[in-house]
Amino acid sequence: MQFSFTDDQNMIRDTAREFMSERCGSQQLRHDLESAENFDPSLWQTITRELGWAGLSLPEAVGGSGLGMVELAIILEEQGRCLYGGPLLASIGLASAILLECPAAEARDALLARLASGEATAALAITGDRGLAGLDAIGVTLYEDEGGLRLDGVASFVLNGHVADVFVVAAKDQRAGHSGYAVVAVDTTAGGLRVEKKLAMDTTRPYARLTFESVRDVVLLAADVDGRTIERGVQVAQVAVAAEQLGAMQAVLDLTTSYVSQRVQFGRVIGSFQAIKHRLADMMVICEAARSAVYYAACVVDEYRADPVTHAQELAEAAALVKVHCSAGFHDVAGNAIQLHGGIGFTWEYDAQLFFKRARATYNLLGAPMVHREHIARLMGLDDDKEVA
Amino acid sequence: MKIRFTPEQEAFRAGCASWLQQQMEGPFADIRGIMSQTFRADRRLEWERVLGQARWSVIGWPEKYGGRDASLAEQVIFAEEYARSGAPGRVGHLGTELAGPTILHFGNDLQRERFLRPIAKGEEFWCQGYSEPNAGSDLSNVRTRARLEHGPNGPEWVIDGQKIWTSLAQFADWCFVVCRTEEGTKGPAGISYLLVPMKQKGVTVKPIRQITGDAEFNEVFFDGARTKAEYCVGNPGEGWKVAMGTLAFERGVSTLAQQMTFRNELERIVEAAKSNGAASDPLIRQRMAEAWVGLRIMRYSALRMLSRATTGSLGGEALTYKLHWASWRKKLGELAMDVAGAPGELCVGEGYELADLPYLYLFSRADTIYGGTNQIQRNIVAERALGLPKEARGDR
């Protein structure tokens, strides 16, 4: 047991922090969110080709570096600090997490290899127009008829879907002789597929809404997938989202600390008032708890991948708790940041609003805290039959 | 980054667990799962002597002082298993967790030789002489004073003053006393850290009955109480540093044991909710889950703290820890009472006997006060971790 970064992990963190703060500061972010992609494609190329972050946590067999979830969490945390809107979370944190749960197969591995190199980015289509969590929310169905495979339905809240090269779609498998779910890849240019960019309250990252109307150009990555497999992929993805939330909440805490250390009223910096100090202290409690939760959950993911049978239950628990705490916590911290900044925190020009909106967007992504608390209540055994004491 | 214990460590876990289970199912079954700090104290002192004789009391200490030179991981494991077994909270914890480590770290050889083994063996119990009527959160305002006298027994400190909120003083053989030894000093300067025997004419212990009906803490009066000149830890006048060092030990391995106790408490609440139907209330379910999340995260933060312990630096997780657990447990107490419902308001016996959940509810109100109130903790976090300006004092 050594629950602290290794030297290598520290080095990855330092490199990522330095790179992100130099290249993705507030000004760059403002520039990015006015662009069509919401991020700078040339910077993404540097990230994938020179830094190798897309492949960092993917297996060596598909051209990745073979490191784990802890390393990916480190990078996502640093990107979260900058509210980076590029495709790492969507392509590696979300889509690849589902792919890695599917059995190794030629088509799957070929796609992972393209994602690892950064040659392509993927986006995950797993929920419908209400953006709910869980298998029931899947709104796309796979059929098979004389023309071959056919995909119909709607997927929404597809993170980074407006720029992805390929969609990883979780579909209900309605083909004769099949059951459960299928995981398929669909090219963004496939016939019958309509991709609408959806501007969101969180201006740092839009969504896409996908309409599948007899889409034929479907690559079957995994068939007869049971619901648990999809759920476990989503659980891993929840840890990725939480890592990004951690970085963002720490950054908005830092921003606020620095503001209250400079702002003078009544002849004192306002950070000398206990009303301000105490609220910041509470924000830090949330951030530190988030840090403990994120890296513990990341370790659990790595153990789960090494030994899925032994650690599946633990993954379910860790993924739920980390999403609960980081979603609710980030929202709290970002909300307090606006309050402590006063009027300026409410302006469009100042970054506090961007953090607050990112907090709200990631709050619902892959399930709001209320949903995951209910999962936990069940995991805790609140519904188990027990003799009355 | 690694969160698992090795197979050897897991074997060690099985060993402790089975010994503890034998004790708690056999000779000490009568004190298993006791929540109150003072209930059945005689039996618990006996239990702690057994623990000491079997060298399970302070396993992290050097062997020559009654420990096992256990690694940090082994200490973590033992602490977890101790609480899991339902063994009661330690009456001797002020000795094993505060006085002992302080003497080990800041004391001299003479003091180590004299004091450590009796603590380890459960032969001598300690209490903490910090707070005073006018020195609570503002500890450096202590007025208890001591002067060095040369009498027939050689040089001795003579102590006068009053301490308050002194937990378990009624069982203590010794007290570590923070007092002023330099006339005319103020604040942290001129304070010494003295080890004072409790069983003497100059020491009076008066119990204070608390909100739960128990009298775990006390007032302690020193009227010409005496201790040997050599029982001063660190140099005379430089005791503040030692006093603060003692508090740092509170963030040690014992936090894991404390969490297992919390876990047991949450389990009792879950059982109660299942048996009275509260478990199907959606709001209660949300709060149960939230409590579970907080508890798990506390464990991860404690593991972070311990993993860093070897570096000697204090991370953000350590500075925020007290605030986190204290706020968490107060909420747990409220959840317990909401689960218990109206029946929880009734006493279950004469002499203000409360059921476990209502007792927890009342007791948890202390958590955000003792060991530094939440307000003081927030100052500490804001000033030490976030670098915000220090509070102005009104008196200097």
Q: Where are the domains of chain A?
A: 7-120, 124-225, 227-379
Mean pLDDT on B156-163: 98
Nearest CA in chain A to B266: A380
By CA distance, what is A9's nearest residue in B?
B1
Q: What's the confidence (pLDDT) of residue A384?
A: 84
CB-CB neighbors (< 8 A) of A67 in chain B:
none
* Residue A342, min C-alpha distance to chain B (Å): 18
Residue A177 has what pLDDT? 94
> What confidence tier does B248 reach under pLDDT thresholds 50, 70, 90?
confident
Residue whose tokens read 């953006």: A131
**pTM summary value:** 0.94
Query: Which residue in chain B has the smallest CA separation from A388?
Result: B275
Dump pLDDT digits (tens) for A245-259: 999 999 999 999 999
Alpha-carbon dihedral sign for residues A209, A214, A220, A223: positive
B389:A269 CB<8 A? yes
CB < 8 Å to A287, chain B: 316
Query: Hey, which residues does B232 pair with through a beta bridge?
Result: B194
Mean pLDDT by 10 residues, chain A (389 residues): 93 98 95 92 96 98 97 98 97 98 96 98 98 96 96 98 97 95 97 96 96 97 96 98 98 98 97 98 98 98 96 97 98 98 97 98 97 97 69
CB atoms within 10 A of CB B250: 16
> Is B76 close to A285, i.e. CB distance below 8 A?
no
* Structural domains of chain B in order of their starting residue, each with its CATH number: 7-91 (no CATH), 126-237 (2.40.110.10), 250-385 (1.20.140.10)
CB pair distance less than 8 Å for B1 and A9: yes
Contact in structure between B82 and B58 (CB atoms under 8 Å): no
Q: Where are the alpha helices (DSSP H) in chain B?
A: 7-25, 41-53, 72-84, 93, 100-106, 109-120, 239-249, 254-276, 282-309, 316-319, 321-340, 356-363, 374-380
User: Cβ separation of B378 and A289 shorter than 8 Å?
Assistant: no
Contacts of B297 in chain A (CB under 8 A): 289, 292-293, 321, 325
pLDDT digit string (tens) for B348-377? 999 899 999 999 999 999 999 998 899 999
> How far, in Å, CA of A272 to CA of B383, rounded?
9
Structure tokens at B241: 């540093």
Among A288, A315, A375, most B C-beta atoms within 10 A, so best to mutate, is: A288
CATH superfamily of A124-225: Butyryl-CoA Dehydrogenase, subunit A, domain 2 (2.40.110.10)
Say which of B149, B219, B230, B250 is annotated catalytic: B250
Nearest chain A residue to B298 by CA: give it. A289
Of A288, A296, A380, the CB nearest to B288: A380
Instruction: Please count the residues of chain B.
Output: 396
Mean pLDDT of chain B: 93
Domain A7-120, CATH class in plain words: mainly alpha
Taking CA atoms, B183 is separated from A34, A219, B135, B141, B232, in Å, by: 69, 86, 17, 13, 17
Per residue in B190-244, pLDDT (tens digit) is 999 999 999 999 999 999 999 999 898 999 999 999 999 999 999 999 999 999 9
CATH topology for A227-379?
Answer: Butyryl-CoA Dehydrogenase, subunit A; domain 3 (1.20.140)
| Structure-model confidence comparison of residues A109 and B151, the more confident one | A109
Coil, strand, or helix at residue A218?
Answer: strand
**Does the active-site annotation cover B265?**
no
Judged against a pLDDT cut of 90, whether residue B312 lies above it is answered with no
